[in-house]
Amino acid sequence: MITKNYIAKGEGADRFEKMPVQIYETADSAVKAVAREIVDLVQAKAARGETCVLGLATGASPIKLYQELVRMHEEEGVSFRNVVTFNLDEYLPMAKESEQSYHYFMHHHLFDHIDIIPENVHIPDGTLKNDEEIERFCRSYEEAIVRAGGIDLQILGIGRTGHIGFNEPGSFLNSRTRKVYLNDLTIKDATKDFGSRELVPTKAITMGVGTIMQARRVILLAWGEKKAPIIKATVEGKVSDSVPATFLQMHSNVQFVIDSEAASELTRADRPWLVSKVVWDDKLTRKAVVRLCQTVGKPILKVENRDYEDNGLVDLIDKYGSANKVNIAVFNDLQHTISGWPGGKPNADDSTRPERAIPYPKRVLIFSPHPDDDVISMGGTEARLVEQGHEVHAVYQTSGSIAVLDDYLFQTLDLADRFNRHGDKEEGENKFQRLKKLLASREPNEPESAELLAYKATLRQVEALAACRFIGIPEERVHFLNMPFYETGSVKKKPLSKEDIDIIVKLLREVKPHQIYAAGDLADPHGTHSTCLNAIIQAFDVVKDDDWFKECYVWLYRGAWMEWEIEKVDMAVPVSPSELSIKRKAIYKHGSQNNGPAYPGDDPREFWQRAEDRNRNTADLYNKLGMAEYEAMEVFVRYRHGER
């Protein structure tokens, strides 16, 4: 179990929601149900000798759905010969062969692997040049949908702007297929696919909201916590063209299919006590009291009966007897998460501490998806573990090579070249000069050569080694796993293979750690963090019966993008001003990621700034709840393998 999302069920649990929402624990189980529905429809229509018209989406959300349809075709013999498809949109301008095109996407993920008749596939044409041609095309697209009998089932994703298709805020209910301009946030989100913001097209052709609304059934998919705010706004908010997806509230046959992360801001998940009877475990009680403190602007020990009553929490008073009693229970619970001894405090009573006192010292493995996540997310704790005498190993899961800008590599090669010229050879072209030429002649978006990528990977290794040296982790305890799934040379990664898992298993069995830290960050914009975590979890499945593993505590930190909610935290490690400065310097060692990293997400701050802001905010939150005032805090959630 990673984080328990309490989601109210039963009658009335969805009473804040203005359209049907089906919540699944994971996207995997959700897509199975949706794929089943699609196939049932396709087969029912085939049995009647009819074609089935599907409206299809691209993006990250439907990928697993398409994988399941391909599986059903390959393993269960499901046929798609009676299927006609219309895709929602395509970038403009966009060549069909380009890896970023929705043409490429659809063929790569679905059409090339099923028996659909090629003439039945329709995708907007991103190669059209002038507006007249585009308008003509859009009209003919609408006509083709009508000719095909209208869309039976439309699959949608949702953008963080609330767009469906590329109908950005401001799109009207009656809009039809047309040329549109992409919203700034949408362009930022697409940057991960294009490598840099400048390369993302600013226009697209999209079906209109009106076109989508005419589909006989609509299923919208959303996964992950990044979608949680827009799902809440869409499902619980007012219908408005500033969130175009809210128009779906007016559709008579719409279904949202989302995972528990995307559901996490819906009232039934965020404040389940407002919608149904709940079972008050410690974490849910903490969540309710923290929310209450934030609502009434008081620290825990000052919240009164009246505050509980006014905010739908009488239940808690009933359970504990009085506001004071709830307050004290939650205060102690939170107080016990704070520990300056992340590896356990030797010779101390550990009954209320997050970590055990013995064994001491501990063997600690810190997994880091990219070569800088450890210092960004837990640099203070990492330094403390070393200082408190533990055997700390830093484990870098991927090479991180694609996050090195050409410019930065050029500068490094230039240094090597000039050093080289200081040496013996002055004549002829040396290797570094050749590589510099190769870099200088590289076109944007051209795939990287394996040779250059290897240099980028080495650069990141050298940076990680420098940070470790600075913190006090010796080189023999620094492990570079270079997991193969990452090594595609592009943002699109391979699926995890046995080889990836075996590498982790081997290291675990070599070190036999007492304590493991890993990135539990599921909000990573390009998925590497969640893949890295999955690999570790799959490795745990292999070692779960090993004696050492039964005694091993696993702690999850969050990557650069988000912090754990306070109600989930099991350990909070204070970071003093001087430790914060150590952490900042360790982050600085990752020079290739400073000064505007290649994958900044939608946050313009440097990594060290984000880390400091985040850690200071956490300390501030603890302080506002009435705990001691610290400079900063790094927080962790305990992962218990095999528990739900």
Q: Annotated active-site positions, please?
A: 168
Determine the interface stretch with ligand F6R among 51-59, 130-138, 292-300, 504-512 (rule: CB under 6 A).
51-59
Considering only residues 21, 23, 52, 59, which one is a binding residue for ligand F6R as defined by CB under 6 A?
Answer: 59
In the complex, residue closest to ligand F6R by CB: 157
Dist. CA 570–CA 352, nearest whole Å: 11
- Residue 178, class by beta-carbon neighbours within 10 Å (0-12 exposed, 13-18 middle, 19+ buried)? buried
Determine the interface stretch with ligand F6R among 25-33, 153-161, 446-454, 485-493 (rule: CB under 6 A).
153-161
Dist. CA 369–CA 523, nearest whole Å: 13
Determine the interface stretch with ligand F6R among 11-19, 159-167, 251-259, 454-462 (rule: CB under 6 A).
159-167
Would strands 363-368 and 391-396 be described as parallel, antiparallel, or unpaired?
parallel
- Is residue 61 part of the contact set for ligand F6R (CB under 6 A)? yes
For residue 91, the SS3 value is strand
Shortest reach from residue 226's CB to ligand F6R, in Å: 8
Q: Which CB atom, from 163 or from 526, has the smaller least distance to ligand F6R? A: 163
- Is residue 435 part of the contact set for ligand F6R (CB under 6 A)? no
Dist. CA 436–CA 18, nearest whole Å: 58
Dist. CA 539–CA 481, nearest whole Å: 14
Determine the interface stretch with ligand F6R among 155-163, 320-328, 618-626, 633-641 (rule: CB under 6 A).
155-163
Shortest reach from residue 76's CB to ligand F6R, in Å: 26
- Is residue 111 part of the contact set for ligand F6R (CB under 6 A)? no
Determine the interface stretch with ligand F6R among 57-65, 445-453, 532-540, 623-631 (rule: CB under 6 A).
57-65
Q: Which CB atom, from 157 or from 354, has the smaller least distance to ligand F6R? A: 157
Considering only residues 13, 31, 53, 88, which one is a binding residue for ligand F6R as defined by CB under 6 A?
Answer: 88
Shortest reach from residue 238's CB to ligand F6R, in Å: 21
Which residues lie below 8 Å from residue 534, measured CB to CB, with a gap of 6+?
496
- Is residue 188 part of the contact set for ligand F6R (CB under 6 A)? no
Q: Which CB atom, from 86 or from 622, has the smaller least distance to ligand F6R? A: 86
Asked whether 553 and 518 are in contact (CB, 8 A), the reply is: no
Shortest reach from residue 41's CB to ligand F6R, in Å: 20
Dist. CA 351–CA 347, nearest whole Å: 12
Q: Retrieve residue 256's tokens.
A: 């949202």
- Is residue 145 part of the contact set for ligand F6R (CB under 6 A)? no
Considering only residues 69, 164, 386, 395, which one is a binding residue for ligand F6R as defined by CB under 6 A?
Answer: 164
Shortest reach from residue 245's CB to ligand F6R, in Å: 9
Shortest reach from residue 33's CB to ligand F6R, in Å: 18
Considering only residues 124, 157, 520, 525, which one is a binding residue for ligand F6R as defined by CB under 6 A?
Answer: 157
- Is residue 58 part of the contact set for ligand F6R (CB under 6 A)? yes
Dist. CA 351–CA 476, nearest whole Å: 34
Q: Which CB atom, from 123 or from 385, has the smaller least distance to ligand F6R? A: 123
Considering only residues 24, 166, 341, 517, which one is a binding residue for ligand F6R as defined by CB under 6 A?
Answer: 166
Q: Retrieve residue 72's tokens.
A: 């059903």
Asked whether 251 and 213 are in contact (CB, 8 A), the reply is: yes
Q: Which CB atom, from 244 or from 371, has the smaller least distance to ligand F6R? A: 244
Asked whether 602 and 560 are in contact (CB, 8 A), the reply is: no
- Starting from the edge strand earliest in sequence, which strands make up the sheet with 178-181, in order? 89-92, 203-206, 178-181
Shortest reach from residue 244's CB to ligand F6R, in Å: 10
- Is residue 163 part of the contact set for ligand F6R (CB under 6 A)? yes
For 218, 235, 268, 291, 565, the CA distances from 17, given in Å and listed in that order, are: 17, 5, 9, 21, 23
- Is residue 288 part of the contact set for ligand F6R (CB under 6 A)? no
The DSSP call for residue 442 is P
Considering only residues 55, 165, 379, 380, which one is a binding residue for ligand F6R as defined by CB under 6 A?
Answer: 165
Q: Retrieve residue 45's tokens.
A: 């229509």
Which residues lie below 8 Å from residue 495, measured CB to CB, with a gap of 6+?
485
Dist. CA 174–CA 223, nearest whole Å: 28
∠ CA 148-150-153, nearest 5°, is 115
Q: Where in 267-396 does DSSP place strands (E)? A: 363-368, 391-396
Shortest reach from residue 35's CB to ligand F6R, in Å: 16
- Is residue 601 part of the contact set for ligand F6R (CB under 6 A)? no
For 2, 30, 81, 405, 620, the CA distances from 217, given in Å and listed in that order, are: 34, 17, 21, 45, 47
Shortest reach from residue 103's CB to ligand F6R, in Å: 12
Would strands 571-575 and 553-557 be described as parallel, antiparallel, or unpaired?
unpaired
Which residues of this chain interact with ligand F6R, rule CB under 6 A? Answer: 57-61, 88-89, 157-159, 163-166
